[in-house]
Amino acid sequence: MRQLVVTSGKGGTGKTTVTASFVALAGGLVIADADVEAPNQHLLLHPQVIEKKDYEGAKIAVKDPDKCDQCGKCEEYCRFDAIQELEIDETRCEGCGVCVFVCPTGALRLEDDTTGVTMVSETEYGTFSHALLDIGAEGSGKLVTEVRKNAERLVQDEPLLLIDGSPGIGCPVIASLTGADLALIVTEPSVSGRHDLERIHGVTRHFGVKALVCINKWDLSQEMSEEIEKYCAKEDLCVVGKIPFDPEVLDTIKKGLPVKNLLKTKAGTAIINMWKKVEGHLFKEIINWRR
């Protein structure tokens, strides 16, 4: 089984749409939405949830007010300003346990904190692992790991695990990328698209994941597209696809049509061609310890 992560340095480049089109093209796959902070894949795949589990993503300090003698030591030692006027601010607590340690009266303890749900669903195309994080919840890197673990558990003899990766360069991205056989970076022809491509490429290089590049809506700025291609040539990054801007894609999405309809658009033709190349890279070239 091969793992392909579709990712981007910034959001909104069309990563989810590209992933959804691949879903329709691949045949025989397990899908994971590792973009746990803004999961969108479910809006396209219309999944039937078959399994739902609370996700305990963090530890959190909990106070027993009866035992508290208001000495204020917890507040003094907490480095995250998570205790103010002796009340715990859940949005700031990192669950380190220092307050528990310094409390002389045993009024504080660490508890598992439910910070989201993980779900396994059926879709027309294959099993789908996804999650929803509570607002402001921490530990999305662990949740990404959980989503990936669920997905890996679901793989039977499907040749592909397709992961809609998290954008950015922080913890969730690292968690969604590492362990992948191949990353497809979706970018767009703009100064920020180019800038973020460089940053995400830095991450893939850092973690030794082979990367390919797709320029989405490339014709919105041919000048920037060329610049991105130049950068890729210099960095030995293969540009496997250039997708034209196509309002029909948005229409298809707005109408909530099945993702295979995406392939009927002008952009879809470019995606089909790109998929052939990605498939080639994915199943021929990669040398990996995993079997």
Please tell me whether residue 199 binds other proteins under the rule CB under 8 A: yes
Q: Of residues 54-93, which lie at the interface with other proteins (CB under 8 A)?
A: 57-59, 77, 79-80, 91
Please tell me whether residue 290 binds other proteins under the rule CB under 8 A: yes
Q: Return the number of the residue (63 or 148) whose C-beta is nearest other proteins.
A: 148
| CA–CA dist 152, 142 (Å, integer) | 15
Q: Which two tokens stand for residue 206?
A: 């850092």
Q: Are 267 and 214 in contact (CB under 8 A)?
A: no
Please tell me whether residue 283 binds other proteins under the rule CB under 8 A: no
Beta bridge partners of 161: 3, 30
- 161: CB partners within 8 A, 6+ apart: 1, 2, 3, 4, 29, 30, 31, 32, 151, 152, 155
In 3D, which of 275, 286, 23, 276 has the Cα closest to residue 179?
Answer: 286
In 3D, which of 153, 170, 235 has the Cα closest to residue 11?
Answer: 170
Q: Figure out which of the listed residues 2, 4, 13, 55 binds other proteins, where binding follows CB under 8 A.
A: 13
How many chain residues touch other proteins (CB under 8 A)? 72
Q: Which two tokens stand for residue 231?
A: 């950068």
Q: Return the number of the residue (57 or 268) whose C-beta is nearest other proteins.
A: 57
Q: Of residues 222-281, which lie at the interface with other proteins (CB under 8 A)?
A: 223-224, 250, 253-254, 256
Please tell me whether residue 179 binds other proteins under the rule CB under 8 A: yes
Q: Return the number of the residue (65 or 208) whose C-beta is nearest other proteins.
A: 208
Please tell me whether residue 206 binds other proteins under the rule CB under 8 A: yes
Q: Of residues 123-152, which lie at the interface with other proteins (CB under 8 A)?
A: 133, 135-142, 144-145, 148-149
CB of 67 to other proteins, least distance (A): 20
Considering only the stretches 6-14, 62-70, 122-130, 264-272, report the one whose residues sit in contact with other proteins under the rule CB under 8 A.
Answer: 6-14
Q: Which two tokens stand for residue 67?
A: 């035992």
Q: Of residues 214-233, which lie at the interface with other proteins (CB under 8 A)?
A: 220-221, 223-224
Q: Are 34 and 194 in contact (CB under 8 A)?
A: no
